[in-house]
């Protein structure tokens, strides 16, 4: 059995770029509302598919339960028809697990990031359409996430289990 142990690396815009956008305060804000509000413009784009009128963008709240470590990883999911963004409601750390793959997730390309809220602001992510990712991985406590998602016709969720001969573990140090 092949065993892979993943240790999280810092979540940065450059490291996450192959999978989507890092959403956080950065750059020069645009001052609006008579100078009382800083607008950090166009941090990510929402992809709803390429058929006009076929989908709508929706906003949800997902309540993620904390995960115990070490944790076995057995599956990944993706959304082929649209992007999906996760924005935590607090600065508690959470993990982001992604990988590449055309028809199935490629376990040899797994990347694990930690979003820890220790930077200039809370960090959210926006997965590109077709990006293989693991469902939410909250760490220390129950965490709510604002989720921007696609709603419309077509199947926008694919889940794939890893081969049982592959043992993938997350160990948070």
Q: pLDDT tens digits, residue range 96-153?
A: 999 999 999 999 999 999 998 776 778 999 999 999 999 999 998 888 998 998 888 8
Which is nearest to 27 in space by CA: 141, 168, 154, 121?
121
Which is nearest to 168 in space by CA: 4, 12, 2?
4
* pLDDT value for 159: 94
* pLDDT value for 54: 62
* pLDDT value for 124: 93
The band of 51, judged by pLDDT with boundaries at 50, 70 and 90, is low
Mean pLDDT over residues 33-49, rounded? 76
Q: Is the pLDDT of residue 173 over 70?
A: no
Q: Is the pLDDT of residue 12 over 80?
A: yes
46 or 71, greater pLDDT? 71
* pLDDT value for 123: 92
* pLDDT value for 171: 82
Domain 2-40+57-170 has CATH 2.60.120.480: yes
Q: Could you state, in order of their start, the residue ranges of all structural domains in the chain?
A: 2-40+57-170
Beta strands in 65-162 (DSSP E): 71-73, 75-78, 84-88, 94-99, 111-115, 124-127, 132-133, 137-138, 143-152, 158-161
Rounded to whole angstroms, how far apart are CA atoms 87 and 90? 9
Determine contact, residues 80/136, Cβ cutoff 8 Å.
Answer: no
């Amino acid at each position: 059995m092949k065993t892979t142990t993943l240790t999280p690396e810092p979540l940065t815009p450059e490291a996450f770029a192959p999978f989507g956008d890092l959403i956080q305060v950065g750059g020069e804000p645009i001052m609006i509302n008579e100078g009382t509000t800083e607008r950090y413009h166009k941090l990510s784009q929402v992809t709803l598919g390429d058929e006009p009128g076929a989908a709508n963008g929706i906003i949800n709240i997902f309540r993620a339960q904390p995960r115990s470590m070490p944790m076995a990883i057995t599956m990944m999911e993706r959304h082929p028809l649209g992007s999906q963004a996760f924005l935590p409601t607090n600065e508690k750390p959470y993990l982001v697990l992604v990988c590449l793959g055309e028809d199935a997730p490629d376990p040899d390309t797994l990347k694990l990031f930690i979003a820890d809220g220790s930077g200039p602001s809370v960090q959210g992510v926006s997965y590109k359409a077709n990006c293989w990712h693991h469902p939410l991985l909250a760490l220390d406590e129950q965490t709510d996430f604002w989720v921007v998602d696609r709603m419309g016709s077509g199947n926008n969720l694919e889940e794939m289990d890893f081969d049982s001969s592959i043992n993938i573990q997350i160990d948070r140090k």
